[in-house]
Structures are given as structure tokens and as C-alpha cells.
Amino acid sequence: MHSRSAVNVHDITRRLRRVAGTAKRTAQRVAHLASEGIVARRYRGVPHGSKEPFELVYVGREMFARELEVYFKRDDADKIQPIDTMFRGSVAHFAIERRRIEREADNADFVACEEFPGALSFEADALHSPMLDAELRVERSVADQIRHVRSRAQRRAMREVLASCRYSTWVDSSERAFDVFDEKLHAPYVRRRFGDWAALDDARAMRRLYARGGRILFVANAKEPREPVCGTLLLDAGGGTLAYQLNGFTSTPETIAEHTTALELALFQHAIDYGYARINLGYTRAMLDDGLFTHKRRLGCSFAPACGSPLFRVRASSGKRASIYARFPLLVGRPGEWTAMLGFDGGAHPGKRAWHAKLKNYRVPGLARAVVWTPAEPHADEPMFREAITETLDLPDGIEFRREPQRGGTP
């Protein structure tokens, strides 16, 4: 257990490292943009739950274009595809083509432009870090940890699994443990879950990280105590932080939820036993209705831009903002002063109670305000939605409702 003074020292050290890391990453980003160049790419399609096609433009490093694709094509029902690459080149070449690309972006329904010298900039832009790290404070006991989980249903599930004694756990830091984890748990799970979208970390790079003090936390059914059903690769990140690096499961759709709960309980106990102050639960997208984001928020996590995350300027066009942000609610701004960019277009009719259940997932630590776009013509369900969101989000700077302009009106 850490004393208050020790925790404060760790926090100060962590903040200093973050500042130094930010400066270093900024220099690396500029150098990378100059040497490897950027792309301007256009996408078109119909997002899930919408009947209207929309067009979006991405400008930035090609390696991060996939982040935008995953955002707007979250499953096979989303028929959003890249249709052309308008530009590929260095920052210097981009400056020559900037005016042309700006005209193309001005006609798009949504624009995401990475921050770099001479990048596109619009008055209505919001700053957006698409890749977040989730961090969880470690409590004194597993019982205390469960009490700090924000979801009542999740607390109930954790207590039931804990009381059942259905699982056994162990830690192994041998080379064989890494092989078992990678070959039987992690790689097969990623391929099953993501299919064509699967992107596995380089096994050699992960092995090198693992060799520097990594360990595998295995979970098995108590009746078959040496046959793991799930596990995680853990690393000591320094400063009292345990990094939950990768996970893997043999689970079926019927057992994945319980196995995830069992793994999280084992993780909590391991962090407590080894005296960690925080668990870094890793990457999630800054999309407020993303399943992974929602789950980590329910566990009690706070969020900050991930190391190496690009910074984008994002903008939805006039007349499309209510529809786009209703389907793609974004977290924008900075930690401690986050803004939820939301929309209501009448496309969903869940009722006030269901709106409460959905919107409470948007109550992120550090959320200061919400901007909600509504259609030009008020929808019959809009008063109910306004009541629900006002009652659910208790924000320091409140909720700002903005109405789309009438056709032919001023944006």
C-alpha cells in the first residue's frame, strides 16, 4: 500500500514524464510528416442506422487513416469505403495543393485533419485525440475496487463470480508462458473477433517487452486448473503503474462476459498484492458509444490521449451535424475539460428511461460540457430527449443545444 506522500511523488513524476513525452512526440510527429508525408483521402457510404449517404475527408498520416475507417465502419452494416486518394506527399507538397484540398474538404460532410504545420483549419473545428489510454486507480481490496465500479450490473456480476470460486489464477513469467498466451489465447482471439480488421502486434517486439519484466496472468476453470480460458500480458510501467498490455480468450459468445469479469477480478487482486497504485488498461477509441470505451468507463477509468495518438481537427458540415454526431458521439478537447459532441435527429426512439440508460455512459471523468446538435425542424421526441440529457449529465459548464440552420439559412 502506498502512503499519500508516495502517491503524490508518483503523480508528479508521471506528469513530468507526460510533459517531456508530449514534447518528444511532437518533434517526432513533425519529423515523420516531413519525411514520410501525408495523404488526403475521400470516403463515401451510408453509416449504420442512417438512410442518407455521407462523404468524409481525411487528411493526415496514412498510418492513421485506418483509425478513421474503424470509426465510421464499425461493422459490416456500415457501407463506408475509401473512394479516392486526392493527395499523397510531404508537408511541403501539401502546401502547394492546400487550396485544392481545402475546396474538396469544404464540400464534405465530415473532415478529420491531423494537426501539422500548414494543416487545414476551419472556424468550427474541434480538437480530437482519437486514441485514448484508460487508467484505473487501485483500491485497498477487491471489495473496494468493485464498489468503485460505476455499473450496478457489473458490480453484481463481479460479486457473483468472486463468490462462486469457479476460477483459478496464476502468474508465469517464463518464455513458455508467453508462447502459450500468444498461440492459444491472444492471436486466435484477435482473429476471431476482428476478422479482416485484425491487426496483431509484432510478436518479436512484444517478446522483447515481455523479457524486460513482463508476466502472464492466466485464468482457468477451477475444474481444469491448468487449461487457461483467458489471460493477459502485464508489464510494469514504472511509477506505481501496472500496464494491462494484451489479452486473449478461448471463450465462446456465451462465456466471454463471465471470463472477462474473472480476468478483471484476477487483475485487481494482482495489482493489490503487488502494491500498484494504478492500472493502465490501454487503448480505446474516443467514441462515447464505443463498446470498449463504455466498458472501461463503467470500471471507473479516467481517460487521456494515448502516447503516440495523433491530434485531429474535426468538423461536421452544416445541416449534417445532428445526424453525424447522433451516430458518432465524439469526445473532444483535453482531459479535465472534455466536451461531448452529440447529436439528436429523431432517428432513435428509445423513450426517456432508455435515453437515461444510454446517456449515463457519456458521463466521463473530466467531462466539462456537452454540445448537442438538433435538427432544423424540431422533432416530436426532442423535448423528451432534452429532459433526459439534462437530468443525466450533471456538467460544470452545462449543455449547449445548437439547432441546425434551415435550408438556405446561415450555417
Residue whose C-alpha cell reads 430527449 in the numeric block? 385
Percentage of residues in the chain with pLDDT exceeding 90?
Answer: 66
Residues 6+ apart with CB under 8 A from 8: none
Among 279, 186, 190, CA closest to 233? 186
Quick: pLDDT tens for 161-205.
999 999 999 999 999 999 999 999 999 998 888 776 667 778 888
**pLDDT for 32 beyond 60:** no
Is residue 219 within 8 Å of residue 261, measured between CB atoms?
no
Is residue 148 within 8 Å of residue 300, measured between CB atoms?
yes
Looking at the DSSP assignment, which residues form a beta bridge with residue 42? 57, 84
Quick: pLDDT tens for 195-211.
766 677 788 888 998 99
Quick: pLDDT tens for 391-406.
999 888 889 999 999 7
Q: In this structure, which long-range contacts are made by residues 29-36, counting pairs with CB atoms below 8 Å and at least 24 apart in sequence? A: 29/116, 29/310, 30/116, 30/117, 32/61, 33/61, 33/90, 33/91, 33/116, 33/117, 34/90, 34/91, 34/92, 35/90, 36/61
Distances (CA, A) of 370 to 150, 337, 390, 399: 20, 11, 10, 5
Looking at the DSSP assignment, which residues form a beta bridge with residue 110? 56, 316
Reading the block at residue 325, the C-alpha cell is 454526431
Q: What type of residue sits at position 297?
A: R
Is residue 55 within 8 Å of residue 105, measured between CB atoms?
no
Domain ranges of the chain: 145-276
Residue 55, φ and ψ in degrees, nearest 5: -120, 135
pTM for this prediction: 0.84
Domain at 145-276: CATH code: 3.40.630.30
Among 123, 103, 113, CA closest to 40? 113
**pLDDT for 263 beyond 50:** yes
State the pLDDT confidence band at 6, using cuts at 50, 70 and 90.
very low
According to the model, what pLDDT value does residue 144 have?
98
Is residue 145 within 8 Å of residue 276, measured between CB atoms?
no
Return mean pLDDT, the chain.
Answer: 87
According to the model, what pLDDT value does residue 21 have?
54
Task: Give the mean model confidence (pLDDT) for residues 68-92.
Answer: 82
Residues 6+ apart with CB under 8 A from 319: 376, 404, 405, 407, 411
**pLDDT for 409 beyond 70:** no
